[in-house]
């Protein structure tokens, strides 16, 4: 073998080693790394049994600020904000899926298709406070989603966003059981999230009468300016009884979405979620005139946001997401 060929082989080997190292250090997508998720005890685990903590952003109500439901925005959230999960909040009412199913379902499908292509996880969220009044619509919608996307490990179904102050056993659980039975006809594996009473706070009620589905998690929603240690205590009570918690929505402000950003209180929640490896999505990618929206009014629908286009809440959350990504792929 002559010297030129030896040199070429050496260069190819060198560049292959560099590329392999880069791939190993984080060029994998979250879905490539963790694959099919499942629930074991109180934790979400990946295909190799490793504990998984997904972190990302929720989009805003689809009927009101639907402009961010596009491929480019999802890609920016994955590449720049380092989201491992996106929540597509499909509004049901008012003027949502219940009255305009084709348009709102198309927005969700756009986000789901983008997430699958980009290798991140995605929550299909039935964003409604009175979902029991839309059981027929929910069953049709989730049957369709499960048939279309059930074969992909990317998908998580959130079948009831935030029940009001109603009975878990009398209202929320029966609704969830019917919707779950429809999903499981077509998708036996992917995780399902059930909202809990009183705006997804009374998860301890659900712990007294859980759903008989091994891959069901239970939602806890918090806004750090309003919800303090007492809500963490409720969630810990539920976890002590064996429930898996998923914070599918949280904010850095008070529950009304306005006022100051509570930096210290938000960090307390981050520390608490890290302690229990709880996955979470921030509310929200929107340019609404409120403190909990991540973007200033008029921020591009396709991402590419400069620091000036990101509000204080968005800056805090983006920094946390990027930190979590580095930890995930260290």
Q: Which residues are catalytic?
A: 162, 249
In DSSP terms, 218 is beta-bridged to 194, 245
Report, in angstroms and rounded to the nearest whole number, the Rg of the chain calculated over CA atoms.
20
Query: What six digits make up the tokens of 55?
Result: 């972190």
Q: Of the candidates 255, 258, 213, which has an alpha carbon nearest to the alpha carbon of residue 231?
A: 255
Q: Where are the alpha helices (DSSP H) in the chain?
A: 3-22, 30-34, 71-79, 101-118, 135-149, 173-186, 197-200, 203-207, 229-240, 263-275, 312-328
Answer whether 272's CB lies under 8 Å from 291's CB.
no
Number of H helices, E strands in the chain: 11, 10
Pairwise CA distance, residues 279 & 327, whole Å: 14
Say whether 100 sits in a helix, a strand or coil.
Answer: coil
What is the number of alpha carbons within 13 Å of residue 202 lying toward its C-beta?
16
Cα–Cα distances (Å) from 303 to 3, 86, 92, 210, 245, in that order, read 50, 14, 26, 40, 30
5 neighbors 13 (Cβ within 8 angstroms)? no
Rounded Cα distance between 304 and 306, Å, is 7
- Strand partners of residue 125: 89, 158
Three-state SS at 85: strand
Strand partners, 47: none
Q: How far apart are CA 308 and CA 168, in angstroms?
A: 43
């Amino acid at each position: 073998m002559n010297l030129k060929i030896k040199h070429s082989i050496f260069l190819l080997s060198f560049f292959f080693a560099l590329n392999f190292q880069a791939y190993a250090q984080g060029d994998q997508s979250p879905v490539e790394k963790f694959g099919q998720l499942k629930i074991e005890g109180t934790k979400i685990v990946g295909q190799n049994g490793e504990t998984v903590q997904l972190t990302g952003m929720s989009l805003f109500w689809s009927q009101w600020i639907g402009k961010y439901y596009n491929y480019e925005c999802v890609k920016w959230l994955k590449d720049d904000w380092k989201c491992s999960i996106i929540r597509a909040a499909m509004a049901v009412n008012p003027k949502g899926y219940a009255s305009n199913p084709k348009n709102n379902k198309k927005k969700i499908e756009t986000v789901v298709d983008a997430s699958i292509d980009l290798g991140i996880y995605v929550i299909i969220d039935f964003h409604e406070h009175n979902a029991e009044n839309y059981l027929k619509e929910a069953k049709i919608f989730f049957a369709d989603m499960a048939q279309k996307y059930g074969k992909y490990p990317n998908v998580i179904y959130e079948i009831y966003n935030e029940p009001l102050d109603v009975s878990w056993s009398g209202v929320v659980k029966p609704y969830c059981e019917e919707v779950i039975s429809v999903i499981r006809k077509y998708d036996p594996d992917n995780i399902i999230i059930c909202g809990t009473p009183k705006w997804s706070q009374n998860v301890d009620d659900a712990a007294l009468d859980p759903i008989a589905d091994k891959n069901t998690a239970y939602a806890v929603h918090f806004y750090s300016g309003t919800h303090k240690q007492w809500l963490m205590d409720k969630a810990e009570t539920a976890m002590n009884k064996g429930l898996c918690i998923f914070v599918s929505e949280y904010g850095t402000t008070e529950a009304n979405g306005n006022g100051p950003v509570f930096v210290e209180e938000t960090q307390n929640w981050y520390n608490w979620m890290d302690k229990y490896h709880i996955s979470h999505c921030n509310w929200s990618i929107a340019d609404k005139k409120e403190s909990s929206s991540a973007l200033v009014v008029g921020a591009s629908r396709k991402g590419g946001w400069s620091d000036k286009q990101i509000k204080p809440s968005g800056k805090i959350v983006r920094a946390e997401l990027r930190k979590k990504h580095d930890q995930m792929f260290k």
